[in-house]
Amino acid sequence: MMKRKSSTWLAILLMISLCCSSYTMQAKDSAFIAGACAVGAALFGIGAVAFADWYSSETDDQFIERVKAEYQFVYSQYYDTMINFGKISGIDHYASSSYKPFHTVSEVALYEFATYVWHQNSTQYNYRSNLMVAKNQLQSNVQGLRKRIHNLEGKSGKYEDQQRLRVMRKLLNDTEAFSSDMTLFVDCLEHHRTYFNLYDSVDVARSRYIQEITIFESGRYSVPEEIKFYITTHDSGSYAFKNFVQDIEEYITNLKSDIRALAYSYAKGREYAKGLVNILVEIRNIVIADPRYQEELYRYEQACLQRQHIEALQAQARAERERADAIYYQNIILEKRNRLEQEKLWQEYHNNNCYGDVDVTVRFTV
């Protein structure tokens, strides 16, 4: 069932991958190829079973070119980052060990890596998602290479097949080794995903309220008035303060939730996030203390009550219309039934008087 549903998408992904193999030398610099391959990978999870039919539709040469292009692109995208992260975190020492103590990675290393991702104009979540897609792509290619190598090994041994076999074995070794290193990298980042999620939340909240935070941290005597003036100049609606408080409370709630979700201590990150929460709470309290906020709440509540009253009247009017319509249709039904009864009675009367037998009695008088 799943294979039938995915056939159309598999055809699309095949065209994407053929584009990748046609432009092998430009794979490193082509944003289109990168995006296309990433989209195709994300759609299907890059499972070896899902691509079995697709692989068999490619020639060995097409397959080799595509796998080379994908390997070179992923390598160019992540190799330097993985090397640097391995050095600052120490996880490169765990590559040959079955036990990988990811919890020993320092918070400094995590912060440095998160900041690197931030400078790439990407969220931590998106970076990890793309990395997972790339890793799955490599693992799928490893399975495809093993299958192709097995098929070639059973052939007669032509020179061309031997050459392809040699290229595939080399490509398998490279892809498998890099896939193993990337798996270690992915697993470490996933182990610390709660830290990176909090980093994202802090970045989003601070970016959203950077002006208010800057004013607050200035420590000037006029901070409350400056903050409220900034709010009113950027929201000319009827409920500027109410809307501001409602929005900032949502950010505060998200930050608190991510702080509680931290899997480990992360002392620095936790402390900074709590400090940001406190600042946002102080800014919110400044707005709440303004009489205009209470006035907006009152006007909003009155507007809601009025709207509810109007909605109730409208509902009552609809109910009255529905009742009137029901009576109208009921009268139509009754009228139709009476007409049918009258027609029935008239038919019976007509039949009895026009087509019935007539008894005649004749009397003779002598």
Q: How would DSSP label each residue in 104-165?
A: GS-HHHHHHHHHHHHHTT--HHHHHHHHHHHHHHHHHHHHHHHHHHHHHHTS---HHHHHHH
Span 46-62, pLDDT tens digits? 444 444 454 457 898 99
Whether residues 227 and 180 fall in one domain? no
In a domain, 319, yes or no: yes
Average the pLDDT over each of 55-59, 208-212, 305-309, 341-345 and give the range with the smallest value. 55-59
- Does any domain span residue 356? no
- Tell me which of 191, 218, 240 is where a domain ends: 191
Tokens of 174: 């490279």
pLDDT band at 10 (very low <50, low <70, confident <90, very high): very low
pLDDT digits (tens, 9 = 90+) for 265-308: 999 999 999 999 999 999 999 999 999 999 999 988 887 888 88
Q: Is the pLDDT of residue 15 over 60?
A: no
Q: Are residues 24 and 168 in the same domain?
A: yes
Instruction: Assess whether 271 and 316 both reside in one domain.
Output: no
**200, part of any domain:** no
Residues 107 and 175 in one domain: yes
Within-domain flag for 347: no
- Asked if the model's pLDDT at residue 7 lies above 50, the reply is no
* Burial class for 357, CB neighbours closer than 10 Å (0-12, 13-18, 19+): exposed
Number of structural domains (the chain) is 3
Q: Could you give the percent of the chain with pLDDT greater than 70?
A: 79
The reported pLDDT for the residue numbered 237 is 80
For residues 263 and 194, the answer to whether their CB atoms sit within 8 Å is yes
248 and 118 together in one domain:
no
Distance CA 267, CA 111 (A): 12
pLDDT digits (tens, 9 = 90+) for 131-164: 999 999 999 999 999 999 988 887 767 888 888 8
Whether the per-residue pLDDT at 345 is higher than 50: the answer is yes
- Residues 264, 102: contact at Cβ < 8 Å? no
Least trusted range by pLDDT, from 8-17, 156-165, 211-220 = 8-17
Count of residues making up the chain = 366
pLDDT confidence of 216, banded at 50, 70, 90? very high
Q: Are both 176 and 35 inside the same structural domain?
A: yes
- The whole-number pLDDT of residue 340 equals 86
Is 363 within a domain?
A: no
The answer to whether residues 89 and 185 touch, using CB atoms and an 8 Å cutoff, is no
Q: Which domain holds residue 29?
A: 2-191
Same-domain status, 279 and 304: no
Position 20 scores a pLDDT of 42
List, for residues 159-193, the tens digit of each pLDDT value.
Answer: 888 888 999 999 999 999 999 999 999 999 999 99
The pTM of the full predicted model, rounded to 2 decimals, is 0.68
> Where a domain ends, among 289, 321, 344?
289
Q: Token digits for 276?
A: 């940001």
Class of residue 255 by CB neighbours under 10 A (exposed 0-12, middle 13-18, buried 19+)? buried
Are 94 and 241 within one domain? no
pLDDT at 305: 83
CB proximity list for 43: less than 8 A, separation 6 or greater? 9, 13
Q: How far apart are the first and last CA of the chain?
A: 106
Q: How far is C-alpha 16 from the chain's CA centre?
A: 23
**Both tokens of residue 284?**
């919110």
Residue-wise pLDDT for 246-256, tens only, equals 999 999 999 99
- Say if residue 140 is exposed, middle or buried (CB neighbours under 10 Å; 0-12, 13-18, 19+): buried
- DSSP labels for 48-85? TTTTHHHHHHS-HHHHHHHHHHHHHHHHHHHHHHHHHH
> Considering only 97-111, 229-243, 246-260, 352-366, which range has the smallest mean pLDDT?
352-366
Closest CA to 128 of 186, 204, 199: 186
Residue 42 and residue 166 in one domain: yes
Q: Residue 266 region, left (φ>0) first, then alpha (ψ -120 to 50), else beta?
A: left
More confident of the two residues 45 and 110: 110
Residue 314: pLDDT over 60: yes
Are 103 and 17 found together in one domain? yes
DSSP string computed for 225-289: HHHHHHHHHH--STTHHHHHHHHHHHHHHHHHHHHHT-SS--HHHHHHHHHHHHHHHHHHHHHHT
Whether 352 is covered by a domain: the verdict is no
Highest mean pLDDT among 77-81, 275-279, 312-316: 275-279
> What is the structure's pLDDT at 246?
94
Please tell me whether residues 130 and 246 are part of one structural domain: no
Question: Both 105 and 133 in a single domain?
Answer: yes
Name residues whose C-beta falls within 8 Å of residue 103's C-beta, 6 or more positions apart in sequence.
191, 264
